[in-house]
Structure 1
Amino acid sequence: MKLLFIADPLESFKTYKDSTYAMMREAARRGHPLAVCEPRHLRWVSDGQVGGPVRAQVRDITLTGDADAWFRETAVREAALRDFDAVLMRKDPPFDSEYFYATHLLEQAEREGARVYNKARALRDHPEKLAILEFPQFITPTLVTREAQAVRAFHAEHGDIILKPLDGMGGMGIFRVKDDGLNLGSIIETLNKDGVQTLMVQKFIPAIAQGDKRILVIGGVPVPHALARIPQGGEVRGNLAAGGKGVAQPLTARDREIAETLGPILAARGLLLVGLDVIGEQLTEINVTSPTCFREISDQSGFDVAKRFVDALEAAVAAA
């Protein structure tokens, strides 16, 4: 398969923990040629009557095995996305306007024959915090609003709450307010920008002390181990980017119930790879843009996540 990865700049990769690199390494091991570009390299042009196809300036690369100079660029060229066997959208969040526009270009490329994973429309239809609303049976009491009074009423009912922006990543902008309501007004103002911006509020889940579990679902099937990201040093956030400690552990019965319920539904919508976040027994996020934790789960559990992913990718391309 000829593969195109749309990602952040290669020079920014931390290969010792990067899931996209793990995918590339397994694909290269199987002999699949690799090309890369960034979302800014995508473009479509019309002469007034005939348009397209969606193209990009891509870099053909080979992997060196060196920890530092980990890739070698062999060519820079123009290519149509439909000329690749698979296009993997692996740009990290945030899901901002530019990411949104990129999904529209990718959807146009799909109309022209490109095979994109995860599918462009599915990326747009599943904002990572709001996607849980479809599955209320698995989530903690939750409020989505931009109104300060609604947040205050939710706090009065539930006492200990978490507030977070809808476009955050890596634990950024997450606040906990306990029963005393200390700084609640200031936090609301910070997150809702005086009523202009929507935020999410959830009842605090004490099981965060045992970790915020990342469950990977590939082709609708859960990986048998999750990565519990355990808060450190008094932090309420377990995200690795916020200093959490990652500990791989087998899925619990509840983890499997959630993953096996959501997995087939999301896979049928074109989401080949999903990262479910579960605290205790509650689903907190559905990550679809660039799910991570391949390396940590594989290194600690011995289960080869990248192999499972490339197996699923090859099967999806063969079935397309």
Structure 2
Amino acid sequence: MKLLFVVDPLDTFKTYKDSTFAMMREGAARGHELWACEPPQIVWQRDGRVQAEAARITLTGDADDWYTVEEMAVVALADADAVLMRKDPPFDAEYLYATHLLSQAEREGARVFNSPQALREHPEKLAIMAYPQFIAPTLVTRDIETVRAFHAQHRDVILKPLDGMGGAGIFRVKDDGLNLGSVAETLTRNGTQTIMVQKFLPAISEGDKRVLVIDGEPVPYALARIPQGGEVRGNLAAGGKGVAQPLSESDLTIARHLGPILAARGLLLVGLDIIGDRLTEINVTSPTCFQEITQQTGWDVAARFIDALEARLKG
């Protein structure tokens, strides 16, 4: 099969931990043809189809020079067997425009994973609003006085931007309220940008768990990203330590409830973030942690993902 990956620049990949690389490696091992392009290379013109200037690559097995470009060609997305949207956040205007181009490619017959419509309808921080039974006390607002009232009620809170990734822009304000006004003003840009505020969950000391769900079914192991050195953030990009562990009963309850719903909406791969027994985010753009889970447990996440992809394409 011809697999076209829409990605960040290939030279920025950290192959020792990159989940997209793990997908490519598994696909290549099964004889699938690998193509890659970046969102700016996707174009559409009237009376034509959505196309991309793409590279056909082979994997070298070298950790540094990990790929070779075999050819460059302009390809119609609908001519690929599958298009895998793996561009990292932020979900900014350009990301949104890319999803609209991918939706047009779908109308032309392309098979896109995750579904571009589903990507648009599931912003990673806000998608949890549909499942209040699983989340901590949460506020979405850009009104600073409303933030103050939420803190007065819950006393220890986390504030974060809606478009961040890797733990960027996350702040904790404890019972004393120190710097609450400054943090709220900065994150909301003086009341002009919406943010999320959540009650602090002490269970973060045991890790911010990434639970992967592939075509509605949870991977049996989570990666608990444990804060280090006094940090409140468990994100690996913020220095958290990743420890794979079996799913807890509450993890399974959440994943089994959301999995079939999200899969039916065109989300082949989802990353649920869970602290303790509370759902904090639903990641749909480019969920990660494949390699860490596989390396620590032997459970081959990439193989399961390609199995699911192949099944979808044959279905």
Q: TM-score range by the shorter chain?
A: over 0.9
**Could you tell me which of 258, 272, 277 is aligned with 2:273?**
277
Residue 141 of structure 2 is aligned to residue 145 of structure 1: yes
Q: Aligned to 1:94, what secondary structure does the other structure show? A: coil
Show the counterpart of 2:40: 40
TM-score where L is the length of structure 2: 1.00
Residue 22 of structure 2 is aligned to residue 22 of structure 1: yes
Residue 256 of structure 2 is aligned to residue 254 of structure 1: no
Task: Determine what percentage of the aligned residue pairs are the same residue.
Answer: 71
Whole-angstrom distance in 2 between the partners of 1:70 and 1:148: 48
Whole-angstrom distance in 1 between the partners of 2:27 and 2:288: 17
Structure 1's unaligned 5+ residue stretches are none
Give the count of matched residue pairs. Answer: 315
Whole-angstrom distance in 1 between the partners of 2:62 and 2:95: 31
Per-residue Cα deviation, 1:4-55 (whole angstroms, up to 9, x for no partner): 0000011000000000000000000000000000000000011xxxx22100
Show the counterpart of 1:305: 301
Whole-angstrom distance in 2 between the partners of 1:33 and 1:82: 15
Q: Aligned to 2:280, what secondary structure does the other structure show? A: strand
Per-residue Cα deviation, 1:90-138 (whole angstroms, up to 9, x for no partner): 0001000000000000000000000000000000000000000000000
Runs of 4+ in 1 over 2 A off after TM superposition: none
Whole-angstrom distance in 2 between the partners of 1:98 and 1:188: 26
Q: Aligned to 2:65, what secondary structure does the other structure show? A: coil
Whole-angstrom distance in 1 between the partners of 2:262 and 2:222: 18
Q: Aligned to 1:53, what secondary structure does the other structure show? A: coil
Whole-angstrom distance in 1 between the partners of 2:78 and 2:224: 38
**Aligned partner of 1:13: which letter?**
F
**Could you tell me which of 157, 175, 185 is aligned with 1:189?**
185
Show the counterpart of 1:8: 8
Whole-angstrom distance in 2 between the partners of 1:284 and 1:162: 11
* Residue 68 of structure 1, CA deviation: 1.1
Whole-angstrom distance in 2 between the partners of 1:297 and 1:110: 32
Whole-angstrom distance in 2 between the partners of 1:201 and 1:277: 16
**Aligned partner of 1:99: which letter?**
Y
Whole-angstrom distance in 2 between the partners of 1:196 and 1:54: 36
* Residue 259 of structure 1, CA deviation: 0.2
Q: Aligned to 1:59, what secondary structure does the other structure show? A: strand
Residue 281 of structure 2 is aligned to residue 288 of structure 1: no
Whole-angstrom distance in 1 between the partners of 2:48 and 2:183: 47
Show the counterpart of 1:59: 55
Q: Aligned to 1:196, what secondary structure does the other structure show? A: coil
**Could you tell me which of 80, 84, 89 is aligned with 2:80?**
84
**Could you tell me which of 81, 94, 97 is aligned with 1:98?**
94
Q: Aligned to 1:207, what secondary structure does the other structure show? A: helix
Whole-angstrom distance in 1 between the partners of 2:66 and 2:164: 30
**Aligned partner of 1:7: which letter?**
V
Structure 2's unaligned 5+ residue stretches are none
Whole-angstrom distance in 1 between the partners of 2:275 and 2:234: 10
Q: Aligned to 2:272, what secondary structure does the other structure show? A: strand
**Aligned partner of 1:207: which letter?**
A
RMSD over aligned CA atoms reads 0.4
Residue 241 of structure 2 is aligned to residue 223 of structure 1: no
Per-residue Cα deviation, 1:207-231 (whole angstroms, up to 9, x for no partner): 0000000000000000000000000
Show the counterpart of 2:65: 69
Matches within 5 A, 1:83-232: 83-232=79-228
